[in-house]
Amino acid sequence: MSPQKPPSDIARAYRTEYEKGQIDEGQLPESPWTLFERWFQEAYQSGDEFSNAFTLGTVDAQGQPHARVVLMRGYDPSGLVFYTNYNGRKGSQIGQNDRVSAHFLWQRQERQFCLLGRAVRLDAAASDAYFASRPRTSQIGAWASPQSQPIEGRAVLERLYQEQVERFEGQAVPRPEYWGGYRVEPSSIEFWQGRHSRLHDRFLCLPGPTGWTWQRLAP
């Protein structure tokens, strides 16, 4: 059987109606994190193995936006947590401008979640604890990869990895000082639920001195 070709008329082939949920004003919680918890759990329980994946947006020194998918490794009312190489592209950009975006797409539920805020480094103890929980291969990879730097080929990366395997043979792998976590602390949160006729439900949540306020947005 020959492989299926993508449709030539993408606009028509991907049209769909959104009918899997709604956001009811009368049932909005005081905190957006209550709704985030429910949506995240429902995405996970649906069998989506990448339910914790989100697109992290940063801006470089020239004002050029960048985006890539990273994995959320924790969350609470203070924000979302992820880990990375501080010397890589996203870490360097955050060092210059800590304003970032975090965007989840939960396709099976026809939902999106977007958080705008600041990325703040976790303390060393928190990063140490998470690093210690990683598989040893991932720990060694953090030492081996000069993240975002040009390399001549795959063989170079494999050689660098093997050098670190030999370096740490028979001992625990410590966390590199240039590797650790960030917490994205929110300045705004938006929920999007697909609805029929493209009349989607959108709600913007803003923090204030007495708690969060909710506002419906036109789709």
Hey, which CATH number is domain 30-45+53-191, 3.10.20.30, 3.40.50.150, 2.30.110.10, 3.40.50.2300?
2.30.110.10
> What are the residue numbers of the active site?
198
Instruction: Label each residue of the chain as H, E or C.
Output: CCCCCCCCCHHHHCCCCCCCCCCCHHHCCCCHHHHHHHHHHHHHHCCCCCCCEEEEEEECCCCCEEEEEEECCEEECCEEEEEEECCCHHHHHHHHCCEEEEEEEEHHHCEEEEEEEEEEECCHHHHHHHHHHCCHHHHHHHHHCCCCCCCCCHHHHHHHHHHHHHHCCCCCCCCCCCEEEEEEEEEEEEEEECCHHHCCEEEEEEEECCEEEEEEECC
Kindly report the pTM of this predicted structure.
Answer: 0.91
- Residue 2 has what pLDDT? 66
- Residue 1 has what pLDDT? 59
pLDDT averaged per 10 residues in sequence order, the chain, 219 residues = 74 82 93 97 96 98 97 97 97 97 97 98 98 98 94 94 97 97 98 95 96 96
Q: Of 48, 52, 89, which Cα lies nearest the Cα of 69?
A: 52
C-alpha span between 165 and 21 (Å, rounded): 49
- Residue 16 has what pLDDT? 82
